Every structure is written in C-alpha cells, then in structure tokens.
Amino acid sequence: MQVSRKRILSYGIVVVAIVLNILVWHIILFNTNGILRVSFLNVGEGNATLVQGPTGATILIDGGPDHSVLRALSSELGPINRTISMVIETNTSASSALGLASVFDRYRVRSFVTPGVPNSTTAARMLANAAAHEPNLIHVEAHRGMRILFGGGAYADILFPDRSVSNMHTPTTALVLRIVYGNTSFMLPSNILPRTQRWLATFFASTSLASDVLSVGHHGAPNSVDNEWLTAVHPHFAVISVGKNRYGYPSTTTTAQLTATRAQVLTTQGAAITFTSDGHILQKAN
C-alpha cells in the first residue's frame, strides 16, 4: 500500500514537533545558567511554591489542597520530568499539605523537610503514608538556624520554629523560610499567626527579614499580616495564593495594609506568579 506524499509530510511535521518539544524541555530541566526561578503556583485555595535552583535543583514548598498541584508542576517542569529534589512541608493544614500526597505518588522525591508536627490531621496522615513508600527518602525535621542549600549559592534559612514542636499547637508550628540568592530574597512565612510575625520582627534585626518578595498567609484573610512584621520585611512584591472563594479573599483591609508599604500586590488567581533572579536583579517573569 502506497503512502501519499502528503501523509509522509504530515508525519514528518509531527516528528519534528516532538523533537523540538523534547529539546525545549531538556533546556528547561537541565538549566544551569545561574538563574533562580521561584513560582507561586496556581492551585486554587491553597499554597504551593516551586523553586528551581541556579544549578537545576527543584524544591517544592507545600502542595495545595488537591491534585491541582500535579497540573501546575507539569506546566513548570515539563511532562517527562518525574524527579523533585526536595519537598518542604511548612504546615499540616489541608490547604498546604493535602496535595503533597499526590506529588509523592507521581514523582520521585529525594528529600523531605517537615516541621516535625505529629500527624494529627487527615492531610498529615495521608502525606506521611505516601512519603513512607518513597525509597531512600531523606527526612529532616527543620528548626531555626538550619540552612538548606539549593545549589549555586542559593539557600533557605529556617527562621521558625525555634524549638521542638512535638507538643505545640498546630497553627503555631509552621515553618518560616527566607530564600536568598545573592542580593535578592523571598520571605515565605507559611500561615504563622500575626503574634508570631510580631515576635519574629522583634527577635530578628530588620536586615535579617527584609525581602524583595513576601508570600502572604491565610489567602489574604483579614488580620493575617502584622504591621510590625510588614515593616521589617518591607517587600517590593506581596504574593497572595488564593482561588475562588466565598469569603471574598483577599480582603480589602489586608491589601490596603500591603499597598500602604508600597508593595505591589499579586494573586495566583488564574495563573502562577513567577520571579527570576541572577543574584543581582529580581524580575517578575509573567
């Protein structure tokens, strides 16, 4: 049976498209150009942040409330990548931890950082069970003073908690991370309460907290940001992870607090928010 020239041409176009697609994702996956990429993912009413280090390491911080994180990761990492260097669970709430169970099912995870809170919630138990099936997983309980190296000079400092959290109330035990690459920085305080924010602002010098980008907790709910903390961090950008909700988040009072410090307020409604840094200049990529 003869195959028409037109059909051969069509097959050829498809093959070329596939090859080009693979080359593009190869460039993305094996990026070693010294650029730090931080993406606040669109996962609906939840938190998930993907960090791609200057030497290609991938770090997922929280996973949102459901399987939406898998779609977001595929969009960022490509459809053929099935490895994540590190997963960091900042708290055990469903909006942050529930999606991580599906990440462990889909991806090979090399290391897992947690605040060490007992598995008292459904999300925490599901995640612990999924992580238990990951072969050769390195599990680390984080605490203040720990520095996590992302490669190429990028790192994350753990600012909180400052003690064992095995007997502490869950809302007070979230990990607070400050990501640093050269002269640029990101503050990720998870969902810590305003009183904890205020304590951190008092405990640390402002130079230790000042950050270009601040992730705002509790989806921008009222009374989610302390003014002393906000003054100390003094961000240029404030990112609110939020989806469609019946509460009207982010609240006008919270956005007013943020804009009063001249921060540009961004939300993940509809699309991820991505920043890149070469260690000197921070740029919003989308």
pLDDT at 230: 95
**Among 232, 277, 222, 283, which Cα is nearest to 253's?**
222
d(CA 265, CA 256): 10
pLDDT digits (tens, 9 = 90+) for 57-87: 999 999 999 999 999 999 999 989 999 999 9
The answer to whether residues 191 and 221 touch, using CB atoms and an 8 Å cutoff, is: no
Q: Which of 148, 153, 211 is nearest to 34 (CA)?
A: 153
Confidence of residue 189 (pLDDT cuts 50, 70, 90): very high
Q: Which of 2-6, 30-34, 71-75, 94-98 has the lowest mean pLDDT?
A: 2-6
pLDDT band (50, 70, 90) for residue 94: confident
pLDDT (0 to 100) of residue 118: 74
Q: What share of the chain in percent tops pLDDT 90?
A: 66
CB 227 within 8 A of CB 196: no
Helices (H), 81-193: 94-106, 122-132
Angle in degrees, CA 235, 237, 239, rounded to 5: 115
The full DSSP string for 26-51 is HHHHT--SS-EEEEE---SSS--EEE
**What is the C-alpha separation between 146 and 135, in angstroms, rounded?**
25
CATH 3.30.470.30 matches 30-284: no
pTM assigned to the model = 0.86
Which tens digit of pLDDT belongs to each residue from 43-63?
988 899 999 999 999 999 999
pLDDT over 90 at 3, yes or no:
no
